[in-house]
């Protein structure tokens, strides 16, 4: 078990790590899925990792996330936000509060924390709760 604050605190230690597709190493490179997997594992919450995925969304990311999480009606720190660009869910972030996220973002060139502005908020297709985080 881990607390929501432990998840947020661990996620913040990744800020500044550069973005790297399928990366999994703090200070070296990580992508959005890798950030969620590594943060959860580092606080003692076991989640299944994914590999071999492409940068082109095909819906499989959402299937993997749904299989390991539960819907969150109220957004809380430590939850995982799923974002959709174009037609398929293709991006993950860790909620740091009801209106902010930490994520590995290619356009930002790494792990960043910021508020959910209207553009980001409209792209959310779901917020999921990870069992073992309370």
| φ, ψ of residue 32 in degrees (nearest 5) | -65, -40
For 105-132, how does the pLDDT look when each residue is reduced to its tens digit (9 = 90+)?
Answer: 988 999 999 999 999 999 999 999 999 9
Distance CA 95, CA 70 (A): 15
Q: pTM of this prediction?
A: 0.93
Give how far Cα 107 sits from Cα of 32, 47, 110, Å.
12, 26, 8
Query: Angle, to 10 degrees, between the axis of helix 32-42 and the axis of helix 4-12?
Result: 120
Separate counts of helices (H) and strands (E) for the chain: 4, 8
Q: Is 3.90.1720.10 the CATH classification of the domain at 4-129?
A: yes
For 30-85, how does the pLDDT look when each residue is reduced to its tens digit (9 = 90+)?
Answer: 999 999 999 999 999 999 887 777 776 666 777 888 899 999 999 999 999 999 87
């Amino acid at each position: 078990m881990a607390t929501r604050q432990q998840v947020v605190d661990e996620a913040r230690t990744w800020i500044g790590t550069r973005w790297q597709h399928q990366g999994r190493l703090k200070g070296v490179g990580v992508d959005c899925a890798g950030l969620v997997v590594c943060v959860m594992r580092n606080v003692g919450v076991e989640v299944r990792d994914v590999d071999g995925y492409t940068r082109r969304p095909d819906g499989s990311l959402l299937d993997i996330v749904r299989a390991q999480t539960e819907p969150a009606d109220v957004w809380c720190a430590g939850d995982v936000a799923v974002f959709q660009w174009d037609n398929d869910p293709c991006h993950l972030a860790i909620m740091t509060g009801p209106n902010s996220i930490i994520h590995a973002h290619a356009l930002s060139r790494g792990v960043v924390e910021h508020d959910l502005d209207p553009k980001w908020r409209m792209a959310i297709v779901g917020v999921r709760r990870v069992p073992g985080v309370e």
